[in-house]
């Protein structure tokens, strides 16, 4: 049953912030959407939005996607971060929105020194001087949810302290609460989006909660630092746990140049090739071997560090691991099936991969339009070989096909696609002549080999044989337990009728309409009889006529009331 609007209104913790959100969206030309969804009635105590806000004539000339991005920027850190995350989730939002959200910048004004210093002192319980010999109160870099300060340990080690903004958690919790309620209301009362508003908010909440957990980010850095400790070309900063707190992460200060700046300052051709080779190797290894990867490896998250021991004199250091992805062994097997099935032209295998990856109904495998789209995808890549396969292009095309059929792609697969396509884009930007497809081919071949090599097949056969043996061994015990439950009347069969709630709602609405129609008809008919009775007696406007007019007026009032209620529902 639909949730009553007053109940939703009572769940919003900060009605003032909700009003601010809707007011900003209205200023950017979304007042008609707000009114159509009835969101204004939730936060304006049942009042309509007309006349409350004036549209900016210049703004409304922009496209919807541009205006939405500008509104997100205006609403602050939570909405900026949400847009940045949604830019990677093209299965949840329209393509034009994702393209526009990708333009949002991470840099925002830092919290002033006189405000941030007392907050940092509280984080370290007044013992900041015991941890650091020097600490710069002025931030040298700030993003939507955290900012960075330079510091020095007592042993002379130069470090960076990443500090969560003082009000970040409070703002995020408040805004997510409001978004969750509004999304639930929209999804409950409206259909046909092609994506789930509630799912969008859930994905955002999950990701942003990870990003504001600086202890978790420290663990991410340490995990990849250990994985690459023997790699002379790739590194990650050291984490100083003893100097970190909940809300403050102490990291090694990387003495190098951001990749974006290094390219502008004239990085040599040999060094460019070395950087692209190291970056692509690192990302593909993280994705397909380690199963844990940096989900946003753009040039602003990589430092070029001078290293005389490295072949080209430089090494690459990754920073900012707030956004990471995980690929479990089964998902890696499915990716191998996707690659092998595509190259071999095996339609059924690729369809099976789609169904398992997206948790789609097996009925989809018989859908003609779906199979035709999958075959079109296979045909595009089938002519080539594994040596020619561009993994990013293949995954992007695959992703587009499943999105067309409104199938949900797992978040970590989306982050995998983002990581691979980002590093391939970095390669094309920094060193266009570098053959990145050929360079990362060993990683793709190893992915397929781990699934289809002789050793992999032998292990699967051995594991399958053991599973069947265990099944045969366990079967008599399971049958005995089942028979015992049947004898004790412990077996219950439950049948669930899908769509019964909707049918019930429609029947209730139909019965109300019939009742209203009978009531209105009775009032009109009764009013007409009374008026005619007075007219027959030749008394003009007598008591019967007055009663008849009141009865007829009541009928029309009832019709008007029901119409307004249906519009507000």
- Neighbouring CB atoms inside 10 A of 37's CB total 17
Same domain, 66 and 40: yes
The answer to whether 274 and 314 have CB atoms below 8 angstroms apart is yes
Please state, in angstroms and rounded to a whole number, the distance separating the CA atoms of residues 361 and 491.
Answer: 27
Q: Which of 426, 452, 478 is the last residue of a domain?
A: 452
Domain contains 324: yes
Domain contains 131: yes
- Contacts of 292 by beta carbon, 8 Å cutoff, 6+ apart: 220, 223, 224, 227, 286, 324, 325, 326, 327
- Collapsed DSSP state (helix, strand, coil) of residue 5: helix
Sign of CA dihedral 100, 264, 324, 291: positive
Domain contains 504: no
Give the model confidence (pLDDT) of 95-120 as tens digits.
Answer: 788 888 877 755 567 889 999 999 99
Q: What mean pLDDT is predicted for residues 136-159?
A: 92
In angstroms and rounded to an integer, the radius of gyration of the C-alpha atoms of the chain is 31
The answer to whether 49 and 37 have CB atoms below 8 angstroms apart is no
Same domain, 424 and 305: yes
The answer to whether 279 and 302 have CB atoms below 8 angstroms apart is yes
What ranges make up the beta strands (E) of 380-522? none
The greatest distance separating any two alpha carbons of the chain, rounded to the nearest whole angstrom, comes to 116
Same domain, 198 and 89: yes
- Contacts of 17 by beta carbon, 8 Å cutoff, 6+ apart: 174, 175, 178
Same domain, 155 and 139: yes
Please state, in angstroms and rounded to a whole number, the distance separating the CA atoms of residues 322 and 145.
Answer: 11
Domain contains 74: yes
Q: What is the DSSP string of 21-87?
A: HHHHHIIIIIHHHHHHHTHHHHHTTT---TTT-PPPTTGGGS-HHHHHHHHHHHH-HHHHHHHHHHT
Same domain, 233 and 260: no
Q: What is the pLDDT of residue 130?
A: 95
More confident residue, 470 or 51: 470
- Looking only at the bridges linking them, the beta strands covering 146-153 and 324-326 are unpaired
More confident residue, 562 or 522: 522
First to last CA, the chain: 12
263 sits in the region (left: phi over 0; alpha: psi -120 to 50; else beta) called alpha
For 133, the enclosing helix (H) or strand (E) is strand 132-135
Q: Please say if the pLDDT value at position 436 is more than 50.
A: yes
* Phi, psi dihedral angles at 312 (to 5 degrees): -100, 5
Confidence of residue 544 (pLDDT cuts 50, 70, 90): low
The answer to whether 530 and 547 have CB atoms below 8 angstroms apart is yes
Q: What is the pLDDT of residue 48?
A: 46
Same domain, 47 and 147: no
Same domain, 225 and 301: no
Q: What is the pLDDT of residue 58?
A: 63
The answer to whether 287 and 419 have CB atoms below 8 angstroms apart is yes
Selection from 151, 126, 127 nearest residue 137 by Cα: 151
Q: What mean pLDDT is predicted for residues 460-480?
A: 80
Residue 26 gets which letter from DSSP? Answer: I
Which of 125-134, 328-337, 511-520 holds the top average pLDDT? 125-134
- The alpha carbon of 491 is separated from its chain's Cα centroid by a whole number of angstroms, namely 41
Q: What is the pLDDT of residue 9?
A: 44
304 sits in the region (left: phi over 0; alpha: psi -120 to 50; else beta) called beta
Please state, in angstroms and rounded to a whole number, the distance separating the CA atoms of residues 551 and 103.
Answer: 63
pLDDT above 70 covers a percentage of the chain that reads: 82
Give the model confidence (pLDDT) of 188-201 as tens digits.
Answer: 765 555 556 777 78
C-alpha count within 13 angstroms, C-beta hemisphere, residue 244 = 22
Please state, in angstroms and rounded to a whole number, the distance separating the CA atoms of residues 148 and 260.
Answer: 19
The answer to whether 170 and 187 have CB atoms below 8 angstroms apart is no
Give the model confidence (pLDDT) of 19-45 as tens digits.
Answer: 788 888 888 887 777 766 666 555 554
Domain contains 552: yes
Same domain, 272 and 388: yes
Domains in the chain: how many in total? 4
Confidence of residue 503 (pLDDT cuts 50, 70, 90): low
Give the model confidence (pLDDT) of 240-250 as tens digits.
Answer: 999 999 999 99
Same domain, 350 and 274: yes
Same domain, 94 and 137: no
Give the model confidence (pLDDT) of 385-414 as tens digits.
Answer: 555 667 777 887 887 777 778 787 777 788
Same domain, 294 and 242: no
Please state, in angstroms and rounded to a whole number, the distance separating the CA atoms of residues 190 and 193.
Answer: 8
Six token digits for residue 465: 């044989």
Give the model confidence (pLDDT) of 369-392 as tens digits.
Answer: 889 988 988 887 766 555 566 777
* Phi, psi dihedral angles at 300 (to 5 degrees): -75, -10
Please state, in angstroms and rounded to a whole number, the distance separating the CA atoms of residues 74 and 80.
Answer: 9
Six token digits for residue 252: 């090694």
Domain contains 380: yes
CATH number of domain containing 248: 3.30.200.20
Query: Among 84-93, 208-217, 473-482, 547-556, whose mean pLDDT is lowest?
Result: 84-93
Same domain, 249 and 299: no
Domain contains 192: yes
Six token digits for residue 516: 């209203």
- Looking only at the bridges linking them, the beta strands covering 248-252 and 158-164 are antiparallel
Domain contains 85: yes
For 315, the enclosing helix (H) or strand (E) is strand 314-318
Selection from 105, 108, 102 nearest residue 144 by Cα: 108
Give the domain extent around 203.
Answer: 5-105+185-209
- Looking only at the bridges linking them, the beta strands covering 314-318 and 234-235 are parallel
């Amino acid at each position: 049953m639909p949730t009553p609007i007053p109940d939703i209104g009572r769940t919003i913790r900060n009605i003032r912030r909700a009003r601010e959100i809707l007011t900003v969206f209205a200023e950017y030309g979304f007042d008609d959407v707000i009114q159509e969804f009835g969101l204004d009635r939730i936060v304006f105590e049942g009042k309509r939005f007309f006349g409350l806000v004036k549209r900016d004539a210049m703004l409304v000339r922009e496209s919807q996607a541009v205006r939405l991005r500008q509104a997100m920027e205006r609403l602050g850190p939570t909405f900026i971060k949400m847009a940045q995350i949604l830019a990677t989730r093209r299965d949840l939002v329209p393509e034009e929105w994702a393209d526009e959200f990708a333009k949002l910048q991470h840099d925002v004004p830092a919290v002033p020194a006189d405000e941030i210093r007392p907050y940092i002192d509280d984080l370290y319980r007044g013992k900041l001087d015991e941890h650091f010999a020097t600490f710069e109160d002025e931030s040298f870099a700030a993003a939507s949810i955290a900012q960075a300060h330079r510091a020095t340990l007592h042993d002379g080690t130069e470090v960076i302290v990443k500090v969560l903004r003082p009000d970040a958690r409070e703002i995020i919790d408040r805004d997510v609460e409001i978004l969750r309620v509004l999304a639930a209301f929209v999804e409950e009362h409206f259909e046909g989006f092609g994506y789930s508003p509630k799912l969008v908010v859930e994905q955002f909440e999950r990701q942003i909660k990870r990003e504001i957990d600086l202890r978790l980010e420290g663990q991410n850095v340490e995990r990849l630092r250990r994985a690459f400790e023997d790699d002379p070309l790739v590194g990650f900063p050291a984490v100083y746990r003893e100097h970190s707190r909940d809300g403050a992460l102490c990291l090694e200060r990387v003495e190098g140049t951001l990749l974006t700046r290094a390219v502008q300052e004239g990085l040599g051709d040999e060094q460019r090739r070395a950087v692209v080779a190291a970056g692509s190797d690192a990302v593909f290894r993280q994705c397909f071997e380690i199963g844990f990867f940096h989900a946003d490896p753009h040039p602003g998250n990589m430092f070029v560090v001078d290293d005389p021991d490295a072949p080209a004199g430089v090494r690459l250091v990754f920073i900012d691991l707030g956004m990471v992805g995980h690929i479990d062994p089964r998902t890696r097997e499915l990716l191998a099936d996707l690659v092998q099935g595509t190259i071999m032209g095996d339609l059924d295998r690729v369809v099976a991969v789609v169904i398992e990856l997206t948790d789609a109904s097996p009925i989809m495998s018989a859908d003609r339009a779906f199979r035709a789209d999958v075959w079109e995808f296979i045909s595009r890549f089938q002519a080539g070989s594994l040596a020619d396969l561009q993994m990013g292009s293949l995954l992007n095309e695959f992703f587009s096909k499943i999105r067309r059929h409104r199938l949900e792609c797992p978040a970590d697969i989306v982050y995998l696609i983002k990581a691979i396509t980002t590093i391939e884009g970095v390669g094309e930007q920094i060193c266009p002549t570098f053959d990145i497809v050929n360079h990362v081919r060993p990683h793709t071949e190893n992915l397929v080999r781990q699934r289809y090599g002789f050793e992999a097949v032998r292990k699967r056969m051995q594991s399958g044989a053991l599973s069947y043996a265990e099944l045969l061994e366990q079967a008599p015990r399971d049958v005995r337990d089942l028979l015992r439950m049947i004898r004790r009347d412990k077996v219950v069969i439950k049948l669930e009728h899908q769509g019964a709630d909707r049918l019930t709602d429609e029947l209730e609405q139909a019965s109300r309409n019939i009742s209203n129609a009978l009531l209105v008809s009775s009032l009109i008919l009764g009013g007409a009889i009374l008026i005619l009775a007075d007219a027959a007696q030749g008394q003009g406007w007598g008591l019967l006529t007055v009663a008849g007019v009141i009865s007829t007026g009541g009928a029309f009032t009832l019709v008007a009331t029901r119409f307004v209620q249906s519009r507000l529902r």
